[in-house]
Structure 1
C-alpha cells in the first residue's frame, strides 16, 4: 500500500512538472517578441526625434498632377494638390506634405507609414 501511495505521488509530481513546462513554452511563444521587433523598437527609441536642420536637409519638391488620382498625405489625410510643397523620405520613398512630415519628424524620426527610421546621412540634395 505504501508503494502505491509513493507511486501516485511521483506520477502526480511528474504530471505537474510536465504541465509547467508546457505553460512556460506557451508563454514564451505567445509573447510575440522576436529579434526583429526588438531591433525595430531599439531603432525607434534611438531615433526619437530629428533636429530642424536635419529636417531641412531632406529632399522636397512641388507636387504636380500625377497620373495616380487620390494620393494623399498619410499625416493629414488630405490629397495632394498641384503646387503643394512635399517631402520624400530617403529610405522608404514615402511622400508627405512638407509641413505635415516636418512636425511629425520633430517628435519621432520614423516614417508614419512603414516605421522605417529616417536617415539623413546619405541624403543628396
Structure 2
C-alpha cells in the first residue's frame, strides 16, 4: 500500500515539474516575440525589416552557371525555387555566406528581406568607409566592382 502512495505522489510531482517547465518555455517564447507569427527572425537579424533596394542588388556578384565546372561555388539546386541549375542560368552569389541562387529568385527574396534563405546571414555588403589619405589607392566603388 505504501508503494502505491509513493508512486502516485511521484507521478503528481513529475507532472507538476513538466507543467512548470512548459510554462517557462512558453513565457520565454512570448517575451522574445514568437507569438506574433514569423516576424521574429527578420526583427532579430534586421532591425529595419526592409529588403534590399535595386541598387544594392546590383552590387551583389552575378555569374553564369556552368554544369560540371570544377570549383563551382553553386550547389545543384536553387533553394528558393527548388529547381536545378542549368548551364547558362544567371546566378547570384551572396558574398557573406557564399550561397548561390537563380538571380531572379534571390532578387525577389532579397527585396523582401536582406537575409540568406538558407543560413539567415545578412546578404548586404558592408559599407566601406575609407579614411581619406594619400596611401589609399582603393575606393569604395572599385572594391564593389572587384566583387562583381
The TM-score range, normalised by the shorter chain, is 0.5 to 0.7
Aligned partner of 1:27 in structure 2 is 23
The size of the alignment, in residue pairs, is 102
Aligned partner of 1:63 in structure 2 is 65
Aligned partner of 1:118 in structure 2 is 123
Give the unaligned 5+ runs of structure 1.
1-18
Aligned partner of 2:104 in structure 1 is 99
Q: CA RMSD in A?
A: 3.1
How far apart are residue 40 of structure 1 and its match?
7.0
**Residues of 1 paired with 2:97 and 2:85: CA distance?**
19
Cα distance change of structure 1 residues 98 and 39 upon mapping to structure 2, 3 Å threshold = closer
User: Would you tell me which structure has more helix in proportion to its own residues?
Assistant: 1
- Structure 1 position 83 matched with structure 2 position 79: no
Deviation per CA, 1:10-51, whole angstroms, max 9, x where unpaired?
Answer: xxxxxxxxx8xx94x65334535899xx89742234352000
How far apart are residue 120 of structure 1 and its match?
1.5
TM-score (norm 1): 0.65
Higher relative contact order (CA 8 A, sep 6+): 1
**Residues of 2 paired with 1:115 and 1:49: CA distance?**
13
